[in-house]
């Protein structure tokens, strides 16, 4: 079952970019950080949408790998990806971007990983899909593309052209 179609996705991404700019005009003292691996597909597109509104040098964009901060790394083998934060996050607002917010454990790991790079003044969260009732930790997004109130027994699968050959979000039987 399709949750977000290929036709809907660009307008959702544009809306998320505009909400970020409404909250942080000009991205003054704010940086964008996409979470490896799948959040980067979304953050790349949000940054592209931000470039439509701001000069490229106004958008500080990095990518963060949280593999070794996850609490499930011992159960499953994860391939580490590159972390690329070509700027300081000290005293800045960090806007974390990920594809799906589920239990909150990925974001908890991202917060731990961020502290290895400095102490931001604030962290905001932007997600494409919020699986609200599945939260195990008190973590909430500031910017949400689509909120799901009850989708059991389904699993959310975000597919990106770069990785899966198609852009959409589907529900699969878990």
pLDDT digits (tens, 9 = 90+) for 148-172: 886 677 889 999 999 899 999 999 9
How high is the pLDDT of residue 97?
Answer: 98
How high is the pLDDT of residue 149?
Answer: 81
Tell me the C-alpha distance between 47 and 53, whole Å: 10
pLDDT at 49 over 90: yes
Structural fold of domain 2-148: Rossmann fold (3.40.50)
How high is the pLDDT of residue 70?
Answer: 65
pLDDT at 71 over 80: no
pTM, two decimal places: 0.91
With beta carbons less than 8 A apart as the criterion, state whether 44 and 17 touch: no
pLDDT at 79 over 70: no
In sequence order, the 6+-apart residues with CB closer than 8 A to the CB of 89 are 31, 33, 114, 117, 118, 119, 120
How high is the pLDDT of residue 76?
Answer: 54
In sequence order, the 6+-apart residues with CB closer than 8 A to the CB of 14 are 49
- The encoded tokens of residue 127 equal 């997600």
Rg (CA), the chain: 15
User: pLDDT tens digit string along 7-41?
Assistant: 999 999 999 999 999 999 999 999 999 998 889 99
- The encoded tokens of residue 107 equal 């974001």
Tell me the C-alpha distance between 13 and 45, whole Å: 7
Domain ranges of the chain: 2-148
Pick from 22, 33, 4, 8: which is nearest to 124 by CA? 33
């Amino acid at each position: 079952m399709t949750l977000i179609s290929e036709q809907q996705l660009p307008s959702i991404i544009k809306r998320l970019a505009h909400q970020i700019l409404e909250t942080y005009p000009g991205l003054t003292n704010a940086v964008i950080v996409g979470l490896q691996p799948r959040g980067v597909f979304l953050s790349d597109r949000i940054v592209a949408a931000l470039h439509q509104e701001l000069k490229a040098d106004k958008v500080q964009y990095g990518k963060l790998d949280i593999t070794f901060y996850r609490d499930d790394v011992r159960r499953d083998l994860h391939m580490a990806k590159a972390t690329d934060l070509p700027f300081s996050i000290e005293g800045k607002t960090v806007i974390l971007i990920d594809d799906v917010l589920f239990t909150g454990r990925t974001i908890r790991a991202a917060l731990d990983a961020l502290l290895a790079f400095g102490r931001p003044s604030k962290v905001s969260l932007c997600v494409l899909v919020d699986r609200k009732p599945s939260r195990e930790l008190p973590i909430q997004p500031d910017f949400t593309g689509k909120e799901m109130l009850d989708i059991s027994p389904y699993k959310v699968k975000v597919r990106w052209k770069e990785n899966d050959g198609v852009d959409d979000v589907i529900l699969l039987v878990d």
